[in-house]
Amino acid sequence: MKAAGFPPLAWYDALLELRRAANGLRAVDLEERMLLAQYSISRLVERLERADLLDRRPDPDDGRGRLLVLTQPGRDLLQAMWPAYAAAIQRHLGAALDKQEAVRMASLLQKVLDHGLAEIRP
């Protein structure tokens, strides 16, 4: 990503998780989805907010909480980063697997996701 002039991969991952959560995420939920420590998420969220890639909004279900919501510039950056990310995946992973192996790997990864990443967190 850096060679392509983009921010770090963690930015892409955070923006992707926020896009998947149409109504936003609490920071603790983003932390769980990304498997990062709380202090790392706090710094990442601050950087993304300063770059106008996310907004913090009141949580309608909990007045004390805040939701992290993807902004349009965040959506645009995510879309712009995808081709570089896809090329890196192909170069480092896809080229090493034939189609049958790639399908099997995708199936195994989906099984892990379905089981819940929180259960494999140290």
Which tens digit of pLDDT belongs to each residue from 87-121? 988 888 888 898 899 889 889 988 887 776 544 44
Candidate from 9-18, 30-39, 77-86 with smallest mean pLDDT? 30-39
d(CA 2, CA 24): 27
Share of the chain above pLDDT 70, in %: 94
Mean pLDDT of 14-30: 93
Greater model confidence, 111 or 72: 72
pLDDT exceeds cutoff 60 at 122: no
The pTM (predicted TM-score) of the whole model is 0.81
User: How confident is the model at residue 118, as a pLDDT?
Assistant: 47
CB proximity list for 52: less than 8 A, separation 6 or greater: 71, 73, 74
First to last CA, the chain: 27
Report the SS3 class of residue 63.
Answer: strand
Share of the chain above pLDDT 90, in %: 56
Q: What angle do CA 72, 50, 21 make, to 5 degrees?
A: 45
Token look-up 């392509």 returns: 4
Contact 74, 54 (CB under 8 A): yes
